[in-house]
A and B are shown apart, each in its own frame.
Chain A
């Protein structure tokens, strides 16, 4: 009886918060649930510049944020219909599988274990990355192979932790690892001199270096020790939502390949190229196949531009982070980003 009372009390106490909860049922489909609540709930980092970072007014920007915005543009024709949930590395998968977020776009490396046993599916690769090392210039180190005896700061629950262990043990380098729960703490500990080395994805290193007091006193070593394909992921078991996410990503690549940009998208509506017509919804009913309006392509490009524009805007050579396209260029430009055709 007491237990029932207790449950009743609990239910009463939290019932009032039920308005804050919502259905993200897999039966009805995440897309339907998203449409019902009117926004996409997007899991992001606590703040990695270029990928997902809030400004002082909690406006989020970054390459991965733009993916969520593209989703919102496709569904609602409103790139701002996104709410962000900052997550630590440890929480992120649970947040996704519990339905707290609709899509996880948080510098997450695509690995076999994650894809198969965590209840999530990776949509694609927004950024091909690799793990690197940052050290102080004053230490006079030029290669990761000289790091014997060093203290290494790492964020908990990342592939970084595993790669570092693999790399150092296979090269017989003895290091001392210090693991923190949040990226902020890792950086702070590195800056305070707790560690000689800060290791994470090299793109994040470039971004985090700017958060140091004196960025010029630090250098990123040339070694890249792992493959880190970073991409958004969704819950397993909802193919409709998965398809939508996947094709939003492919659309961004296709738009760049076809030369459709935010600036010329209105002119492109009149293009004779059938591929562009399909892309922008002038021809065919491709939007219906993924449960959104047929002009989904137009909406996305109009609001955010294509993949190349997003890249240039957030992480490209002209930004403070300044990463060359490299392997992230389209296949036509010597990179490996390749979008299957919208057909």
Chain B
């Protein structure tokens, strides 16, 4: 592309008498780029030279060996088995998984809430629209970190302590240590049930495709949803009964300081998730609103004249068209949410920045290695998310004839 342009322009300048080399855009382009290259190379040589000199003179340890060293500290909330004998590589993985956990759940919740708020702002219901506007305008103009502190330190204080825990139905317990839920304990042969579920899901995918093809061909819509439900329930039930697999629940009980057994969801996680969800949702709401407003009014009027109800109008006509406008900025909101999860360092949720760039950096003292690795991981996450959303965007893009 670029070289083509350069060629073209060089030909033009070549035409009348041989101009001096200095005025040849092609030569100049090469010269400028050479200068830039020299500059960039010099820059990196310079800073890494300084780095090595500084570290040598102060006798600071270097290299990535520390990854296989024992971390010697505990982490309060981990998705994989971890203890003080684990290595710094494990610490990195624990942090990354915790980041991903809060990001993925946050993205799902923020999308749902964001769409709801965005649609509510455009609702014909006056008071609902006003309420949504107030929520959006309030939350989007207050720093996320401040909101996080508010939810964590402000609201945590008001929660009941362990001895006065709120015992909700289904053995769920709620107190200022977070939420404790019963934990499912699967027997060893439960794998069969999972396999059955997987098979059922794959089968229902084909059923849906068949149903769609049939509807396109004949205009009759087979009851795909009902077939699929039956498939899933049937497969799982048969596999469960046939295999004799069992599922027990470990019920939380108050013992000593805290509840024992069950799954513990720490309040740091809840505060972080809640703050991230709300903050991102109001931005998504604005994107959704803009997207819907970008759909010409004629579209919803046409849908109205076809006799579609308000819900169907949105679902079948407006939203699919609005999505094309919505998806690109939505991607950057998802990325923002993932990056913003790093603020958890301030409220003690053990995510990547907190356990790796905080604790590990301090215990190893290898600032450069730790910071670079952390940044690279975020960069990779960003690139992967962008790639996925680009793919999705290409799929839903308007196919022009």
Contacts and interface: CB of A to CB of B under 8 A. Distances in A.
Interface of A: 1-4, 7, 26, 89-90, 93-94, 97, 113-114, 116-120, 139, 147-151, 156-158, 161-162, 164-166, 168-169, 175-181, 185, 188-189, 192-194, 196, 235-237
B164 to A, nearest CB: 10
B348 A189 contact: yes
Contact of B257 (A4, A114, A149, A188): A149
B74 A165 contact: yes
Contact of A119 (B35, B36, B55): B55
B255 A149 contact: yes
A94 B358 CA distance: 12
Nearest to A98: B54
B291 interface: no
Contacts of A119: 55, 58-60, 365
Which 10 residue pairs of A and B lie closest in terms of their CB atoms, listed nearest first?
A157-B362, A119-B58, A118-B365, A117-B61, A165-B84, A119-B60, A150-B257, A149-B256, A180-B348, A165-B74
Given A166-B72, A196-B257, A161 B359 contact: yes
Nearest to B85: A169
14 contacts: A1-B32, A3-B40, A4-B36, A93-B365, A97-B54, A97-B60, A113-B363, A117-B59, A118-B365, A149-B256, A156-B359, A162-B72, A179-B350, A196-B257
A177 B362 contact: no
Contacts of B267: 194
B29 to A, nearest CB: 10
> Do most interface residues of chain A lie in helix, strand or loop, or is the interface mixed?
mixed
B354 interface: yes
B73 A192 contact: no
Contacts of B208: none
Contact of B76 (A4, A114, A168, A177): A177
Given A3-B36, A149-B258, A161-B359, A113 B365 contact: yes
B76 A181 contact: no
B75 interface: yes
Contact of A177 (B36, B57, B74, B159): B74
Nearest to A120: B58
B83 interface: yes
B367 interface: yes
B264 A176 contact: yes
A309 B6 CA distance: 79
B260 A149 contact: yes
B286 interface: no
A156 B95 CA distance: 14
Contacts of B75: 177, 179
Contacts of A3: 36, 39-40, 43
Nearest to B350: A179
B177 interface: yes
A326 B84 CA distance: 32
A242 to B, nearest CB: 12
A164 B73 CA distance: 8
Nearest to B159: A193
A162 B363 CA distance: 9
B152 to A, nearest CB: 9
Of B40, B73, B162, B177, the most chain A CB neighbours within 10 A belong to: B73
A181 B59 contact: no
A192 B156 contact: yes
B76 A176 contact: yes
Q: A156, A162, A181 — which one has the most chain B CB atoms within 10 A of its CB?
A: A156
Given A165-B72, A193-B176, A235-B58, A181 B84 contact: no
Contacts of A113: 363, 365
A156 B358 CA distance: 7
A101 to B, nearest CB: 14
A94 to B, nearest CB: 5
B161 interface: yes
Nearest to B149: A185
B7 to A, nearest CB: 21
A90 B361 contact: yes
A161 B162 CA distance: 24
Given A4-B36, A151-B258, A179-B76, 13 more contacts: A93-B365, A97-B54, A113-B365, A118-B365, A156-B358, A156-B359, A161-B359, A165-B73, A178-B266, A181-B348, A181-B354, A196-B258, A235-B58
Contacts of B157: 192-193
B76 A178 contact: yes
B358 A7 contact: no
A156 B362 contact: yes
Contact of A117 (B54, B159, B354, B365): B365
Nearest to B161: A193
B45 to A, nearest CB: 14
Contacts of B361: 90, 157
B362 A90 contact: yes
A4 B157 CA distance: 53
B342 to A, nearest CB: 12
Given A150-B258, A165-B73, A194-B177, A156 B39 contact: no
A96 to B, nearest CB: 9
Interface in B39-69: 39-40, 43, 54-55, 57-61
B370 to A, nearest CB: 11
A21 B367 CA distance: 22
Interface in B217-258: 255-258
B46 to A, nearest CB: 10
A108 B256 CA distance: 34
Contacts of B257: 139, 147-151, 196
Contacts of A94: 367
Contacts of A179: 75-76, 348, 350, 354-355, 358-359
Nearest to B255: A149
Contacts of A180: 347-348
Contacts of A181: 345-346, 348, 354, 358
Interface string B252-288: 0001111010001011100000000000000000000
A151 B156 CA distance: 15
Contacts of B346: 181, 185
Nearest to A147: B257
Contacts of A2: 36
B153 interface: yes
Contact of A236 (B59, B260, B264): B59
A191 B32 CA distance: 62
A91 to B, nearest CB: 9
